[in-house]
Amino acid sequence: MSNHQRLPLRSKKAFLIFCLCAGAVTILALILSVLVGSVSINSAWIGEILVNRITGREIFERTWENGTESIIWTIRFPRVLMAFLVGAGLSLSGILMQALTKNALADPYVLGISSGASAGAVAVIMYGFFSAFGNFHITVGASLGAVISIVIALRVSSIHNRITPTQLVLSGIAVSAFFSAITNTMIYYNKTGSDKVRTAMYWMMGSLSGATWPKVIYIFFAFLICLIVLSFFCSSLDVLMMGDDAASTLGLNLRRTRLSVIAICTILTGAIVSVSGVIGFVGLLIPHITRSIVGSKHARLIPASVIVGGTFVILCDVLCRVLVAPEELPLGVVTAFFGAPFFLFLIRKSGQKFGGAS
């Protein structure tokens, strides 16, 4: 019997309790994130403003200033919701990459998707491409870069119309290095001014400071569509983790499943990177921790990781705003402080298992 089968959360009741507790922590994190800032806010105003805005009526008497409502509704609410969606989306992408490669050390950036999206976004920032799309010009550039990067990785890794995880990972590493070189070259040779360089560098390290309601809605629908489509692949992901031979024996169409997983991950990661920049380690850290609690069945792993990942990024964003206040740390820096030691721990743990088996 495996360690996952011996977990106390094997029962549906225990899993439900875990999700309810995690959801309660998420709500507390949401409230904390809205409260944190240079302007002091009464916690009671959060729910009252939210109800008034959603219903479009003055159900609760206005006891706050217009400026305070504007801060809560137009700045802090979009940011905290964006943080949750970014964390949830990266966690979901991490699950997909780990299932696709059958490697617990894989994350959403293993195929070079984020590097391609980053190169596309930096090109837009530096040279003003796609200006006709207004505030979504960076989104268009990043999404286009993500698509180009994954197409190259798939073409390189496809041999006789067959794609293996090892070939895909190696191609992704090469594609990632290539687009990272393009990004660094654009920044190094930019002559238009330091403001664009600073914007690009800060964006490359990840930030939620530019969160707006249109961006939140965009990410929400991208995440929701990917989650709905993925719900039909939970059993396929479980079979995929058994290995190619076992999956083929059980009748799984490996090529179709892998291409579907790659498409979902590309859309989701490209959308996230386009609005928040590059945020590392979330897709590695959260699925691994959640898997150790709820097990490897994707029907449980996916909802649990979505909740935990969203909460994690919310709390990291709070730290970004308070550690060096009134300045703000890039979100990718904070997640790296948590993720890098954990990554080294996983490498060490994997090395001990390998050494013990020899």
Question: Which one-letter DSSP state was computed for residue 131?
Answer: G
Apex CA 311: angle with CA 223 and CA 261, to 5°?
35
Residues 276 and 80: beta-carbon distance below 8 Å:
no
Question: What is residue 40's predicted lDDT score, i.e. its pLDDT?
Answer: 79
CA 180 to each of CA 51, 64, 183, 203, 275: distance values in angstroms, whole numbers, following the listed order: 45, 47, 5, 14, 18
CA 127 centroid distance within chain: 27
Taking CA atoms, 199 is separated from 195, 203, 313, in Å, by 6, 6, 21
Contact 142, 121 (CB under 8 A): yes
Supply φ then ψ for residue 162, to 5 degrees.
-125, 130
Q: Is pLDDT at 355 greater than 80 in this prediction? A: no
Query: What six digits make up the tokens of 76?
Result: 């802090």
Across the range 104-126, mean pLDDT stands at: 83
How long is the chain?
Answer: 358
| Per-residue model confidence (pLDDT) at position 78 | 95
Q: What pLDDT band is residue 10 in, cutting at 50, 70 and 90?
A: low
Among the listed residues 85, 84, 89, the one whose alpha carbon sits nearest the alpha carbon of residue 28: 84
* Interacting residues of 16 by C-beta distance below 8 A, sequence separation 6+: none
- At 2 the pLDDT is 44
State how far the Cα of 32 lies from the Cα of 26, in Å rounded to an integer: 10
Whether 165 shows a pLDDT value over 60: the answer reads yes
pLDDT tens string 212-227: 999 999 999 999 999 9
What domains lie within the chain, and their CATH numbers?
23-351 (1.10.3470.10)
Predicted confidence at residue 217, as pLDDT, reads 94
Please determine, for residue 351, whether its predicted confidence score (pLDDT) is greater than 70: no
Averaged pLDDT score across all residues of the chain: 85
Of 95, 85, 87, 47, residue with least CA distance to 69: 47
Quote the CA–CA distance of 316 and 319 in Å, as a whole number: 5
